Amino acid sequence: MRKGYFGDFGGRFAPELLMPPLLELEEAMDRIMTSAAFQEEFTNLLRHYVGRPTALYRCDNLSKELDFGLWLKREDLAHTGAHKINNTVGQALLAKHMGKTRLVAETGAGQHGVATATAAALLGLECIVYMGATDVVRQAHNVQRMELLGAQVRPVQSGSQTLKDAINAAMRHWIAKQADTHYCLGSAVGPHPFPLLVRELQSIIGREALEQFQSRTGKLPEQVVACVGGGSNAIGMFHAFVTHRQTALVGVEAAGEGSVDCFHSATLNKGTPGVLHGCKTKLLQTADGQIMPSHSLAPGLDYPGVGPEHAHLQAQGRAKYVSVTDSQALKAFLRLAKTEGILAALESSHALAHVLSLAQTLPVSTDVVVCLSGRGDKDLGIVREALRKG
């Protein structure tokens, strides 16, 4: 496999001005992240600060209704309420070891911004977060959290004013301030080495889930399911299971309103290969290569690209990717809340919605593990408005 590539996808398509910090980051990953001192410090932070391992919970009530076993890997129980903290604590620690004093980040749903601000506060780093103006309104709760943690939140007014545009703005900032700044990229996208870096930091999710499930049941799950926007929680969940071919890997994208001509974020299902934000992957684009608008009720899935390793897993046939509509995700959100007493993020609710659609179709002995990537507190305003509209 070519360095920085996953099959035909990945690479480092970056302007010349970005090459020095990308090469510096790659060298730091090889030299610093592999050291015993870094690994010990990172492991201690994950255990004593982040709260790992997170629980693997069997949904007994829903399992009875579905007629198969439904399990949740509870990333919503990690500090700050989502899987994003695994990545930001790791990257912030690496940045500090590199001598950087500032973090710049992008965020869509706001959870990565909160997690970056949290890690920056913990490790004494300055933090600037770019967020699409649309998402600033949709996720006002998380904007307040970031500011209380000491971060400066900068709304992005260009383009669709969502995650894609926030990434553009953060990359421009990094070019100008690379000497003392690390770009804490939130998903498994971007130029090499970011997809690899984020996967390595998030792979703790799948390693824990595999060990916990085998310890509890003595076998492997038949399916592992996760939502996919950029795809960091999914690649973190999938990675430990990739070599276990008896476990099916299922990624769930956002189908938007579900009509033929609607905006959506089903990149792997409806996209085509192209280059965005420094890597070759699958994109939502026109015939002449112009990026199309994306949409999801879940802000964290509202992205017209996807991590290159997901594109590779799909091309290999190792993972299957399906899509779920806004209304299906909302129904899954409500059903989990009323049946198990858990408020899931709308992103995670897409994965859950797909599994709920399998009711009565799988053998009773089937076990499905869903990555519950975050909690739903941040989405209560969106849910309230969606229910109001009916």
Q: Return the active site residues.
A: 59, 83
| Main-chain dihedrals φ then ψ at residue 245, nearest 5 degrees | -70, -15
Q: Whole-angstrom Cα distance, residue 357 to residue 267?
A: 21
CA torsion sign for 351, 357, 360, 362 is negative
Edge-first strand listing for the sheet containing 56-58: 56-58, 69-74, 367-372, 223-227, 248-254, 319-324
Among residues 218, 219, 236, the alpha carbon closest in space to that of 227 is found at: 236
Count Cβ atoms within 10 A of the Cβ of residue 367 and give its class: 0-12 exposed, 13-18 middle, 19 or more buried.
buried
CA torsion sign for 339, 204, 250, 252 is positive
Which position has the token pair 């989405």?
Answer: 379
- The CA dihedral of 83, 86, 92, 96, to the nearest 10 degrees, is 170
- The CA dihedral of 312, 170, 373, 253, to the nearest 10 degrees, is -50
Tell me which amino acid residue 264 is.
Answer: H
Are 371 and 75 in contact by the 8 Å Cβ rule? The answer is yes
Are 328 and 20 in contact by the 8 Å Cβ rule? The answer is no
